[in-house]
Amino acid sequence: MTEILISSPAGILAVLAAIASLFFFLEKKTKWKGFNYLPPLIFIYLTPVLMSNLHIIPTKAPVYDFMGANLLPMFLTIMLLDVNILATIRIMGKGIFVMLLGTVGVVVGAPIALMIVKHGLGPDVWKGFGALAGSWIGGTGNMLSVAYANNLDESSLDYGYAVIADNAVYLIWLPIMLASKNIATKFNKFTGISEEKVEKMKKAAEELTTDKGKVEMRHFLYLVFIGFGVTALATWLADFITPYKTDAGITLFSKNSYKILIVTFIAVGLSFTKASKIPASHAFSMALVYLFVARMGAKADLSNISTEVFWFLLGAYIWIFIHGAFLVTAAKIFKVDIHTAAISSAANIGGAASAPIVASYHNPALVPVSILMALLGYAIGNPMAILAGILCHLVM
């Protein structure tokens, strides 16, 4: 048996944090434009994959289990505190429906794509599709949460395929969303929106403020308390609910599914309270997300990778085409501009990391509202992706 070079909990966490820090440092220091197409997220995932498969750090360790059971629901809670559903609806108007129908396209597209390619995949691949749906509706945090809810181990091939497909599609989809700005006039004519409505939305977006004030030490204590408090409560409630079965003698969801759904609903509820005003909540939660992404990569085992990845990728591209068809149809029905449609898709497929990139390219004034739309995706990502996973399970 090959000896692991770094195996202590503190050592493993230090390595993961160093990897996540390094690529954001390089992004800021070098200002390399390639990071717009190959974001730090990709490298933060792939570097630990290489390190664990080269036996520098382990693929399995107790610290990984702790992070999955506690750190994941913690960052999900803190992340959702920033959701401002009312402001998003007020500014985007019908654009919200475009995003939601794009979400429906992700949910509906998952089982359709899986039916086409399932012959080349394993029996548990529906879990990987469910995890990918989490990323494409909300973001990386949702992908991790739904994988946890579906009892999908990050070391499994299905999870690895989902990560590969997520990034492979992103490399194609993001340039399309950016380039769509060049057809703004034709697209707006196709949907029937007037320039007056476009300018009105831009003006409302420019008035949006997101400054929560100066960050102080106590704010981090508040966030840690809320994060672990909600996690503890959700764990207790999930333990209480799970033993109850239907008349047919089956449990509707796994314990992890209940836990993630409970965390989601409690956190969204807290977003309507003063907890949403705590500074640094988004930055803190995203730092934890990227630390978790590094953990996810560390658990990936490449020794059993097979040609199944081709079929998963094919399914993902079919799936994203269905999402695109839903998005264009929704834009036509609700008469929205190309900027709103592109941001709506980016808020789904790329989440908070990509929506601002697309918004800043189309119109910098829309950056704040693009973040709000991505956060709305966080809020609905878990229940909708779990539903997508269930539909995928039914077609297997």
Tokens of 210: 């997101």
Tokens of 355: 């929506």
pLDDT over threshold 90, residue 25: yes
In angstroms, the CA 368 to CA 215 distance is 20
Give yes or no for a contact between 272 and 161, defined as CB atoms under 8 angstroms apart: no
Full-model pTM: 0.66
In angstroms, the CA 104 to CA 146 distance is 17
CA–CA–CA angle 135, 137, 138 (5° rounding) = 65
Q: Per-residue pLDDT tens for 200-215?
A: 666 666 555 566 788 8
Q: Which one of 104-108, 158-162, 177-181, 270-274 scores highest in mean pLDDT?
A: 104-108
Higher pLDDT, 182 or 393: 393
Q: Per-residue pLDDT tens for 345-362?
A: 888 887 766 676 677 677
